Amino acid sequence: MVKKSFKFFFNKFIRQHILTLIIILALGFSSLLFSFISPLLIKSLIDDVFVGRKVDLFGYIVIGIIGMYAVSSISNYFKGFITGKLQLTLLKEVSGSIFGVIQFASLESTQELKVGDLITRIMGNTQIAINVPVSIIPQFFMSVVGITVPFFIMMSLNFQLAIIVMSPVILFVLVSSIFGKKMQNIQKIFLENNASVYSFLKESLSIISLIKVFGLESWSQNRFKGQIDDYFTTSISYTRMSSMNSSLSSLILGIPVVLLIIFGGYKVLEGTISIGTFTAFISYTSIFFSPISQLSSLWTSYKSALPAFDRISEIFDMEMGKSGNKEIKIKYGNIKMEDVWFSYDNRRILKGFNAAFGKGLNYIVGDNGAGKSTILKLICSLYNVDKGTIEIDGQDITEIKRESLNRAISMIFADPYLFDGSIYENIRIGNLEASQDDVIRVAKLVKIHNFIERTPEKYNTNVGEDGLLLSSGEKQKIALARAVLKDSPIILLDEVTKSVDADSREAINEVINGLKNKKTVIIITHNASEIDNEGNIVYLGT
């Protein structure tokens, strides 16, 4: 029975490439011609030319062998190239599709999985899944042909000897059925452990500074040892099972050869079959059992790959971020939250919360854990409320298109997100249509232009992964410049000055004060000295 996740994968990604798969199969069958015909040519060479002295056939047989070899070689080349190209094409399509789903999935869905787990699903699991329809299934059909054709040829040469030689087939079927299920179960655990190792590495390498400051090198190393030990244990189990399967298959493969020597040799000695026929049987026995052995391997590979289809399917089952169908129209920038309830991870964050924010400076003040940052995420629809409404100029944000709402709101986090690229690129993502002059203008506005000009490559200076090469103040200024460049009517600021130096704090607050007459600015802060008493202050208790 075909798994539901495999059917989904096939219909979504493989069906459109059916013609290419048919071409791969045709080329594969063509490459088998040499192995099918050459034993018969060798039989004729021995019986008719060497024994029967029909010398005039010698040239034809040689030409036939050369021709079959040429056709097989050319077919193998094109089959290998087309297969490799299809694998790369599917990797691009599948991984791109998975990445896109993750981008548009709800934040709650994506946060249920670790980053390392998502990475392995996008790349590693995708490659495993692609291998099934592109490599394993075509190999399966070619193996079936590789079994069927020699079977009928051997039956036509000598029915009794063919039955004797092919009798060990039942042993291959038995071994495949036993090991296939075991390999599938082990592979599922292996993929989960592999994802855990990736997640651990992503987390540990991103906090390397913290580890060094607190002298946690040995502690971190011990944690990694625990992760890699689990990975090692599962991998050893998989390797042991795979090796045992290969070993038994090789052992079984020797049985038909022994049977052929015993019974076939006897028939040659008694003169019931010719030496050429016996020679052909040797070749066809190898041709017949090689794909049977391969079928056993393909079956275990297929069963091992099935968990990858499940893991990919789980990504496409993610809940998508909710979006309305209306364009937002902002005239005043007034935000109203009425009877808002919200829970996260089975913990109640907001209960019947009410608040109003208007143009100018608005402050949210409260204890840690009271839900201040959650309010900002609800306003920009990163999370959806359990109950209640959030309106912007009287428009319920659940009815607004996500793209339209995103254009209307900018948010700067306490820990600004910078990607591994240039300073220019990190600012310009606020408005991808902005010119270089626009980027420089906002950099000057937030007072980071002079710093940029002192860097080795100025605006082309790389900030490092997560802005590793910059100070907290510099990172926050770049994030602020990005928001200013976006020029949205609503700006949300989540404790943007909590970890910056005095000069950066002064520069950031100056920019914020410059926006108060133009935009709705909502600020979360613990610093009472930064609160403008003329602003709107919302107190939030735990």
Q: Which residues have a Cβ under 8 Å from the Cβ of 91 and sit 6 or more positions away?
A: 126, 127, 130
* Predicted pLDDT of residue 463: 80
Structure confidence by residue, pLDDT tens digits, 144-192: 887 787 778 777 777 777 777 777 777 766 766 666 667 667 767 777 7
Whole-angstrom distance, CA of residue 110 vs CA of residue 100: 12
Amino acid 430 reads G
Whole-angstrom distance, CA of residue 373 vs CA of residue 367: 11
Share of the chain above pLDDT 70, in %: 89
Work out the burial of residue 352: count CB atoms within 10 Å of its CB; fewer than 13 is exposed, 13-18 middle, 19 or more buried.
Answer: exposed
* Predicted pLDDT of residue 30: 81
Q: Please, what is the Cα angle at 91 between 85 and 92, to 5 degrees?
A: 95
Neighbours of 314 (CB within 10 A): 14
Whether the per-residue pLDDT at 370 is higher than 80: the answer is: no
Question: What single string gives the DSSP state of each residue in 360-420?
Answer: EEEEEEE-TTSSHHHHHHHHTTSS--SEEEEEETTEEGGGB-HHHHHHHEEEE-SS----S
> Which among 215-219, 458-462, 511-515 has the top mean pLDDT?
458-462
Q: What is the mean pLDDT of residues 95-115?
A: 78
Under 8 Å between Cβ of 291 and 143: yes
Output the CA–CA distances (angstroms, integers) from residue 530 to 26, 477, 500, in the order listed: 74, 17, 14
Work out the burial of residue 366: count CB atoms within 10 Å of its CB; fewer than 13 is exposed, 13-18 middle, 19 or more buried.
Answer: middle
Whole-angstrom distance, CA of residue 226 vs CA of residue 224: 5
Q: What domains can you pick out in the chain, each with its CATH number?
A: 4-316 (1.20.1560.10), 335-540 (3.40.50.300)
Whether the per-residue pLDDT at 462 is higher than 60: the answer is: yes
Rg (CA), the chain: 34
* Mean pLDDT score across all residues of the chain: 79
**Helix, strand, coil % (nearest 5) of the chain?**
70, 10, 20
Whether the per-residue pLDDT at 19 is higher than 90: the answer is: yes
> Nearest Cα to 336, choosing from 395, 409, 390, 408?
390
Amino acid 486 reads K
Structure tokens at 288: 């017949």
Amino acid 105 reads A
Structure confidence by residue, pLDDT tens digits, 256-298: 767 777 777 777 777 777 777 777 777 777 777 777 767 767 7
Q: Say which DSSP state 327 is in.
A: -
What's the whole-model pTM score?
0.69
Q: Give the length of the chain.
A: 542
Whole-angstrom distance, CA of residue 413 vs CA of residue 534: 24
Q: Please, what is the Cα angle at 145 between 143 and 150, to 5 degrees?
A: 105
Torsion of CA 528, 347, 499, 434, to 10 degrees: -100
Structure tokens at 120: 């392995």
Whether the per-residue pLDDT at 3 is higher than 90: the answer is: no
Under 8 Å between Cβ of 172 and 296: yes
Whether the per-residue pLDDT at 518 is higher than 80: the answer is: yes
